[in-house]
Amino acid sequence: MKIIQLEYFLAVVKYNSFTKAAQFLHISQPSLTTAIKKIEDDLGYLLFIRTTKALKITEKGIQFYKHATDLVEMYHRTLDQMYDLNISDEPRIKLSILESTSAWMAMVIQQHHYQFHKQRYQIVEQHSLEHIISSLLNFDISFAIFNEAIQREGIVSVPLYQEPYVLITPKNTFNNQKSISAEALQQLPLILPNRQYQVRKHVDEYFKHMNIHPNIVLEVDRFETATTLVHRGLGHTIIPRFYYQSSSANHLNAVKLEPNIERTIYLNYLEKRKLSEPANQLIDACINYWKMN
């Protein structure tokens, strides 16, 4: 079975249509139908149930889809890495960051690039601890900036800094009030991250500890979305202090929470992996940045 056959299958699942998948793949529908039939013959079971009115993936098709997705992603990731080595003596430095760390990371990378002017970088945002651990163990990233220490053998977690959370409000909402009590938060419409994110877990633990019941009107994936909604007057949000320095928080006020709530930001890397000299230098630059600030 070839990778291109798996890509054909994934396209049919994505579009839930042989016609639309064939258009996307720029092949004829009969050719696509024949390719899927060949996969089913090789496997010995049906991937789809076809009727005149609908196309439905089978239970075995769903299981096959999961494995096919992993195989295609691994194939393209491997090609990407080989391409890196072909056009440069050193591969790209791939790192995972948090949305709130982009401002200071940009400064660190800028200084690093002055020293290694031919170096290229790839930055991703990962918000799942499991995803970050997998990316480190599979050598997909050189290191990860995350708001949690990784308690796993072979992974080193270096604490960089502690960062308080603040309440973000429209300008002059509280007449330049510098702080707000946890109890007063109950009276405000809040825009918070969705429950799967670590920031939300921190905030929920804070509410539980303070025995308050927040009025959550909106839940979002990104701080940028939250601050945009605050700009529109739809509520207030609680975000890390350093994100308040970003452009999307311009013309908003940051109010300190009383009592305080904060998190620790860690740099995580695989202890036994031999990284390139520029990658090691970038790790050191991140650590030293916070030693000096």
Residue 276, CB half-sphere, CA atoms under 13 Å: how many? 18
Q: CA nearest 292: which of 95, 156, 150, 104?
A: 104
What would the pLDDT profile of 88-102 be if each residue is shown by its tens digit?
555 789 999 998 899
pLDDT (0 to 100) of residue 84: 62
C-alpha to C-alpha distance for 48 and 63, rounded to whole angstroms = 12
**Mean pLDDT of all residues in 105-124:** 93
Tens-place pLDDT, residues 159-178: 999 999 999 998 878 877 88
Global confidence as pTM: 0.69
pLDDT at residue 53 is higher than 80: no
Classify residue 153 by its DSSP letter. Answer: T
Region 203-223: mean pLDDT is 94
Give the pairing of strands 215-220 and 236-240.
unpaired
Residue 278's pLDDT band (cuts 50, 70, 90): very high
The mean pLDDT value of the chain amounts to 89
The encoded tokens of residue 243 equal 């994100």
